[in-house]
Amino acid sequence: MIKVKGGVTAPKGFLASGVKAGIKVSGKKDLALIYSEVPAVAAGALTTNRCKAAPVKVSLTHLNAKTHQSIIVNSGNANCANGKTGQRDAHAMTSGVAKLLKIDERMVLVASTGIIGQALPVEKIEKALPALVHELAKDKGTDFADAIMTTDTKRKELAVKIKLGASEVTIGGSCKGVGMLYPEMKTAMHATMLAFITTDASISKKMLEESCDEAVWGSFNMVSVDGDMSTNDTCFIMANGLAGNKKITGKDANYKKFTEAFKYLAGELAKMLAADGEGATKLVEILVKGARTVEEARAMARKISISNLLKCAIFGSDPNWGRIVASAGASGVDFDIDKTDVYLGPVKALSNGSIDASFTKDKARRYFKDKNVYITVDLKSGRSFARAWTCDFSKEYVTINSEYST
């Protein structure tokens, strides 16, 4: 597997664009489009929040179609809590794109991100659609990545290439999200985190859904910035088959290789999200290992990742490992504290449930000053593990979120 340039347009047959529709007060790009030159199969993982935004509801319905060809995204407005008007506006986005691309509306997926409870300026979007379609190009993946951002400080995109038999398969992706970030997305087989993945792999819809579920479970669903689940969290993947590999129809060696690459790409994008958390100064990776099951490791890692007290301590370079132990104990996982070890990077803080004899605050404090902080909890009860990613809580986070809707 090698990294390549191009983001969502790196795979064969995918074009993208990003334009200014006037949704954002800043005047920056706020409307984006992905288009596959041939019909593709698609899968999606969407928020489990009961207060789902209109584009999520529309996309859940459209995902039932056999093939898809386009994804339209707006930033600057979540189109959430707008009732029937919101759903009408989301349909206006998909139908408008479909008409211009001369495809069925159900082949278009839609996503939105921004402030909740404000009417979507759909007339501005409709006015910008011709330019959005006209601008579609192979070299516009970066424009797409720019146009989906809200309070992100940098674009987030990546692409990788693998060999499946004699064929080269590419997977590309772009995502956004630095606040209201604690996804718990569920694959739909039948400031917000948005992720868009494209691939030229030939794979059945069912296997793409399975692969999406595996990739999202250990990547985007393991990120937290502030512990708040969005109404708009969305991850879409489209596969158009132009790589020409033998079609993946079961969980064979090619499926496993493809899914491992998908997991890697999703994991790297997830880390980008956490590192760019609103006001973040440090990326934090939490590894829980030695668990009896993956589910238990995951539950504990996620619980630790949303500890506001720990996140504040990390911002202040205060090696208060007791906050890690407290969160582990509150995770609902049944474990033996008297067998548990905790590491702050290379510094062992807890050994079999007691403070390690070699632990010193000065050594741990120096480590906590790093930009990348690694925390390990070893339960020594099994072979399962899980990773979660978060960031510190800074004063800037409070400033950003006390003025977000003004």
* Alpha helical stretches, state H, 53-136: 54-62, 83-101, 122-134
Q: Which of 261, 27, 59 is nearest to 160 (CA)?
A: 261
Residues 50 and 275: their CA atoms lie apart, in Å, by 28
Q: Two tokens at 107?
A: 């082949």
Q: Two tokens at 307?
A: 């500890």
Rg over CA atoms, the chain:
21
Catalytic, out of 9, 150, 170, 192: 192
Instruction: Note whether 225 and 280 are within 8 A (CB).
Output: yes
- Specify whether 192 is catalytic: yes
Instruction: Note whether 361 and 344 are within 8 A (CB).
Output: no
Question: 268 Cβ partners below 8 Å, 6+ apart?
Answer: 158
Q: Which residues of 16-29 are buried (b: 16+ CB within 10 A; e: fewer)?
A: bbbbbbbbbeeeeb
- In total, the chain counts a number of residues equal to 406
Question: 84 Cβ partners below 8 Å, 6+ apart?
Answer: none
Q: Two tokens at 144?
A: 């797409």
Count of CA atoms in the C-beta half-sphere (13 A) of 48 = 7
Catalytic residues: 192
